[in-house]
Amino acid sequence: MITTSNLSKKYNDNLVLNIESLDIPKGQSFGLVGNNGAGKTTYFSLLLDLIQPTTGFIKTNNIQVNESEDWKPFTAAFIDESFLIGYLTAEEYFYFIGELRNQNKADVDALLSQFEDFFHGEILNQKKYLRDLSKGNQKKAGIVAALIGNPEVIILDEPFANLDPTTQIRLKSIIKDLAEKKGVTVLISSHDLMHITDVCERIVVLQKGRIIKDLATNEATLKELEDHFANQQLV
């Protein structure tokens, strides 16, 4: 589904990402962890063609993402609030994304109705612009917008941050359902080791832009990750 080959990214002489090979099969729930500056967001930015690689490439469904836009119709993401349109209300934003993904208003409304418990009555019918919502509510809106149009690949950067515990639990259920029941390839990064081991069947650890662990998640994974980061020297 997603193939990474000889991928690197440099800023001036600073090598921030260097991944020789990484394959993510269709329908896998894939987690990316690492300390700040490890290269997680850089990798996602390259995957979404937001920045250009220094060397190498990423292909999704055999489409090289920096050479063609044919991957966009089946790929969705929420990285941060810059993905939102701040001067729109949540409803206006959802319908706008729906139009981009060939979904009519009824299609979007049907999807939104599945997430009333996720929204907690704080997103819809509030007559607020997205820019005026809390960070947590902006994140909720961005995550649900990424689900519009039944994408095959969903990329979420730090999805659990700024969410209250009830919403985090609901989000874990959403992510598991996407991968296990709907066959969606879900890529998430997180600093929360417990959450990411709960929802991801595979976890890759980045350190200074390189893959240093590639783990199939089991009952020992959380302890292995905690031990790894406990032994890291902060630079």
Does the CA dihedral 67-69-74-80 come out positive or negative? positive
Token duo for residue 99:
């139009």
Rounded to an integer, the average pLDDT of 17-28 is 96
What backbone phi and psi angles, to 5 degrees, belong to 77?
Answer: -155, 155
Confidence of residue 87 (pLDDT cuts 50, 70, 90): very high
Neighbouring CB atoms inside 10 A of 186's CB total 27
Q: Tell me which H or E stretch contains 20.
A: strand 14-24
**Look-up of token digits 């998430």:** 188
C-alpha–C-alpha distance, residues 120 and 115, integer Å: 9
**What confidence tens digit (pLDDT) does each residue in 34-45 have?**
999 899 999 999
Confidence of residue 106 (pLDDT cuts 50, 70, 90): very high
pLDDT at 233: 61
Residues 6+ apart with CB under 8 A from 53: 7, 8, 9, 46, 66
**Around 31, how many Cα atoms within 13 Å sit in the side-chain half-sphere?**
30
C-alpha–C-alpha distance, residues 137 and 96, integer Å: 18
**Whether the Cβ atoms of residue 196 and residue 190 lie closer than 8 Å to each other:** yes
Number of H helices and number of E strands within the chain? 8, 10
C-alpha–C-alpha distance, residues 202 and 214, integer Å: 7
Residue 156 in 3-state DSSP? strand
Average pLDDT, the chain: 94
Q: How do beta strands 63-64 and 55-60 pair?
A: antiparallel
Confidence of residue 232 (pLDDT cuts 50, 70, 90): confident
List the one residue out of 214, 162, 224, 161 whose CA is nearest residue 31.
214
Token duo for residue 98:
């729906």
Residue 221 in 3-state DSSP? helix
